[in-house]
Amino acid sequence: MVSPSTESTSRLTLRAPSPDAIAELTRPDGCVLVLGEHLGRLRDLAEGLLRVGCRVEIAALTQVNPDTPLGIGDHRLTVVDAIQLTRPSVEIVNRARAEAATQPLVAVAVTGGNRHRLATAHYVVGRVNDSGDLADTPRVVRDILSTWSAVRPLVGPGDLRIDRIGRRASVRGRQLALRPADFRLLRVLAEKTRHGCTFDELRAAAISGTRAEERRATAEVRHGLERLRSLLRRTDVRVVSTPDGRYRLTMRLDRPLAADRRG
């Protein structure tokens, strides 16, 4: 959950970051871009991320040429120190963000502070000391990583990609036509690719909690699984049930023929 000294303002329920989410930022092809104007806070954020093994790059927005690409799309995660961020810097970030709208961006703010709007950002809140540096860096970094864990794009078997921000999914670049409930099923299956999901976990993901939905949840999940199997039939991905009653995404061993894919 959210720490006492920091709170999410993006309406996410924050949990401890998953090991897979942390591992993604520590791989050779994973890197965090940290942006802002205050050098002390940039240092605090970078050092906090480095301590958990993340690869980090820093850019001081006051020294960035407005016409120079920030490379947001080349990084797994972008963190912006939005505390007292000036409008020109906000505009630089928003322009760069327009070309990488599905890449997660987490902004750090202070409670009650004025902040210019960063497009599609998820906010966490920290405290600053008298010198303007972060007073609770470990907690802020933890909430940044928890937010990343909750919103990061998922990569499943067979080049399945799930954009949790845009609520879209594709296989080898081809978009899947998903109903909202089917997307929720696919998302939870992708989140638990390693161990799979129980039927109860799928049912909890597919419904929003009203009593009427609970009554028809079992049938909805079964229909949703059949729709997913049909959508994935001509891809390298399939939904399987295991002997212990769990459901998993796996890579198809008998890959579809090229002619079937064109169909």
Q: What is the pLDDT of residues 120-156, one digit of tens each?
A: 889 999 999 999 999 999 999 999 999 999 888 888 8
Q: Percent of the chain having pLDDT more than 90? A: 47
Please work out, in degrees rounded to the nearest 5, the angle formed at the alpha carbon of residue 67 by the alpha carbons of 62 and 73: 90
Mean pLDDT, residues 71-88 = 91
Average pLDDT of the chain is 84
CATH superfamily of 19-151: Response regulator (3.40.50.2300)
The model scores a pTM over 0.85: no
How do the domains of the chain map onto residue ranges?
Answer: 19-151, 154-262
The more confident residue out of 135 and 3 is 135
| Fold topology of 154-262 | Arc Repressor Mutant, subunit A (1.10.10)
| pLDDT tops 90 at residue 253 | no
Give residue 8's pLDDT band: very low, low, confident or very high (50, 70, 90): very low
